[in-house]
């Protein structure tokens, strides 16, 4: 480093002694002989800043780290929950001091104005009204507009030292000499140009919050908080006719750490009891990883991936059978959600139709989280009829994982077998239906890769057991046929 090691940042006591950022370490030690120095670690600072941004979600879902030394919050509609902007700043300052941080905090109409006042304002804690935005910025140096140091130095050389010096000046000459970025930053600070804030974590569509007078640590109290948060969240969803597919519980520890617990649902959920039960089971499974520290002081419950929930009408006469079937469907969906959150939704699958005439490819397995609306809406009966025709011979409900080779004997080359051996057991066929021919899927493949045609037969042996077998290959094409067992009828 040119000239030797330099100071990256200094605390309040060091600044009082004359130490400042970018100062040579040797000069700083001359001013303060007992100066304590640690190596700068920008990567660790960035990680801690991200953690702090997540902690600030306790005040608003719209929180983002502003590298290298700040956090931006959009508290629109949230300040009244803490008693106003001044009370919110006071609460934040008190907690940050408890973490060992010194902070400067400002609220303003725009993100740019708040950033400027927090770093260059006269007071460490500032609340400025919307109408006073320009007035509050006028006396601040041009560096408060988030421009680089080189541009600020060039502006100072021509007498443009404060933000007020720029207000009312012609834009074209300023942009031509100092760049368009200067004009953009000025407009953002004054509110003439919008500025987007990308939150550190996705903001929930709906959220309920419980702030605790005393920190809690045991699971029983956390479960009670979940039971208290779920009903108001469900009411918010029900009021808008929506359901959530993902619900996140966030626990805020008194030391600033946060812990999130997430549950998913296979169907749109707006039932508080179901939400609470899923979280209770999730917490039971996290006992080994459970670390409350000195306790949790705030708990939030957020609903994500919400959609309009369409109501299903039962029979017009409101028969008991219809109501019972709807209850069964709801109970089954709740069971699937419990399995999915306990085992992982990638392990809980459902069967979906697939446009293929080959039996093993006519059905595909998909996660229950994949919505049926995105699938082929063809009903199962219509799907089977399209594959097998109106006069199909029927197929087993379940097939073998893979067709298994068998030794079969047939009276005529193209006829059904009169006996076969499967898994070292001989079977004598007394009844047979077939064949049902299924041609190979030749499209998109060469003839060698397309495979051979199959002739399926439904067989019944002398013990009354029924099997589904097929012959692969045709005598008429001079192919060498082979026999396979593909399924067993119940």
| Predicted local distance difference test score (pLDDT) of residue 325 | 47
Segment 76-86 shows an average pLDDT of 91
> Are residue 36 and residue 47 in the same domain, yes or no?
no
User: Alpha-carbon distance 113 to 121, whole Å?
Assistant: 10
Q: Are residue 239 and residue 297 in the same domain, yes or no? A: yes
- Residues 9, 135, single domain; the answer is no
**Count of structural domains, the chain:** 5
pLDDT at 359: 84
Pairing assessment for the beta strands 125-127 and 105-107 based on DSSP bridges: parallel
pLDDT at 56 over 60: yes
Q: For residues 148 and 47, state if they share a domain.
A: yes
Say whether both 34 and 47 belong to one domain: no
Residues 227 and 274 placed together within one structural domain of the fold: yes
Residues 25 and 157 in one domain: no
On average, the pLDDT of the chain sits at 86
Tell whether 53 is covered by a domain.
yes
Cα–Cα distance for residue pair 96/52, rounded to 1 Å: 10
C-alpha R_g of the chain: 35
Contact 221, 212 (CB under 8 A): no
**Structural domain of residue 374, as residue ranges?**
350-388
User: How would residue 369 be classed by pLDDT, with cut points 50, 70 and 90?
Assistant: confident
Q: Name the band, by pLDDT with cuts 50, 70 and 90, for residue 230.
A: very high
The pLDDT tens digits for 180-224 are 999 999 999 999 999 988 888 888 999 999 999 899 988 889 999
Task: Say yes or no: 472 and 374 in one domain.
Answer: no
Q: How confident is the model at residue 67 (pLDDT cuts 50, 70, 90)?
A: confident
Residue 374 has pLDDT above 70, yes or no: no
The answer on 383 and 280 residing in a single domain is: no
Kindly state whether residue 327 falls inside one of the protein's structural domains: no
The predicted structure's pLDDT at residue 375: 47
**Which pLDDT score is estimated for 204?**
93
Overall average pLDDT of the 92-110 stretch:
92
- CATH number of the domain residue 152 falls in: 1.10.150.20
Task: Tell me: do 252 and 276 sit in the same domain.
Answer: yes
Residues 105-132: pLDDT tens digits?
Answer: 999 999 999 999 999 999 999 999 999 9
Domain boundary among 308, 327, 359: 308
Let me know whether 51 and 178 are in one domain. yes
- Domain boundary among the residues 278, 308, 338 is at 308
Given pLDDT bands bounded at 50, 70 and 90, which one contains residue 323? very low
| Domain-located, residue 179 | yes
Claim to verify: residue 422 and residue 287 sit in the same structural domain:
no
Domain annotation covers residue 329 = no
Q: Looking at the domain assignment, is residue 469 inside a domain?
A: yes
């Amino acid at each position: 480093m040119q000239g030797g090691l330099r100071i990256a940042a200094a605390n309040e006591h060091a600044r009082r002694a004359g130490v400042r950022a970018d100062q040579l370490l040797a000069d700083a030690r001359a001013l303060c002989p007992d100066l304590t120095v640690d190596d700068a670690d920008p990567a660790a600072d960035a990680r801690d800043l991200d953690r702090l941004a997540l902690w600030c979600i306790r005040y608003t879902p719209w929180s983002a780290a502003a590298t290298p030394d700040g956090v931006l919050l959009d508290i629109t509609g949230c300040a009244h929950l803490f008693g106003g902007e001044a009370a919110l700043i006071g609460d934040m300052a008190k907690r940050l001091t408890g973490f060992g941080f010194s902070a400067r905090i400002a609220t303003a109409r725009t993100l740019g104005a708040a950033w400027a006042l927090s770093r260059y304002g006269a007071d460490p804690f500032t609340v400025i009204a919307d109408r006073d935005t320009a007035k509050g910025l006028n006396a601040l140096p041009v560096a408060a507009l988030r421009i680089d140091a080189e541009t600020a130095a060039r502006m100072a050389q021509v007498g443009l030292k404060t933000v007020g010096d720029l207000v009312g000046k012609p834009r074209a000459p300023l942009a031509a000499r100092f760049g368009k970025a200067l004009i953009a930053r000025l407009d953002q600070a004054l509110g003439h140009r919008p500025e987007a804030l990308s939150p550190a974590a996705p903001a929930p569509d709906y959220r309920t919050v419980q702030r605790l007078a005393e920190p809690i640590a045991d699971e029983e109290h956390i479960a009670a908080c979940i039971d208290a948060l779920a009903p108001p969240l469900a009411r918010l969803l029900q009021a808008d006719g929506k359901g959530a597919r993902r619900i996140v519980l966030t626990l805020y520890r008194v030391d600033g750490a946060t812990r999130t617990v997430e549950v998913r649902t296979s169907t749109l959920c707006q039932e508080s009891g179901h939400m609470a039960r899923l979280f209770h089971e999730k917490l039971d499974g996290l006992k080994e990883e459970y670390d409350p520290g000195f306790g949790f002081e705030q708990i939030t419950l957020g609903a994500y991936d919400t959609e309009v929930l369409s109501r299903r009408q039962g029979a017009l006469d409101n028969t008991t059978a219809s109501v019972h079937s709807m209850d069964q469907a709801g109970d089954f969906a709740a069971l699937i959600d419990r399995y999915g959150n306990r085992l992982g939704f990638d392990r809980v699958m459902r069967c979906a139709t697939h446009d293929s005439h080959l039996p093993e490819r006519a059905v595909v397995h998909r996660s229950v989280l994949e919505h049926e609306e995105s699938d082929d809406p063809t009903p199962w009966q219509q799907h089977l009829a399209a594959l097998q025709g109106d006069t199909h011979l029927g197929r087993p409900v379940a097939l073998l994982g893979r067709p298994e080779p068998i030794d079969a004997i047939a009276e005529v080359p193209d006829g059904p077998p009169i006996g076969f051996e499967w898994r070292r057991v001989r079977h004598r066929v007394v009844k047979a239906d077939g064949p049902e021919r299924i041609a190979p899927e030749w499209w998109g493949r060469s003839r060698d890769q397309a495979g051979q045609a199959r002739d399926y037969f439904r067989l019944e042996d002398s013990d009354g057991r029924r099997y589904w077998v097929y012959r692969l290959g045709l005598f008429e094409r001079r192919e060498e046929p082979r026999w396979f067992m593909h399924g067993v009828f119940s």
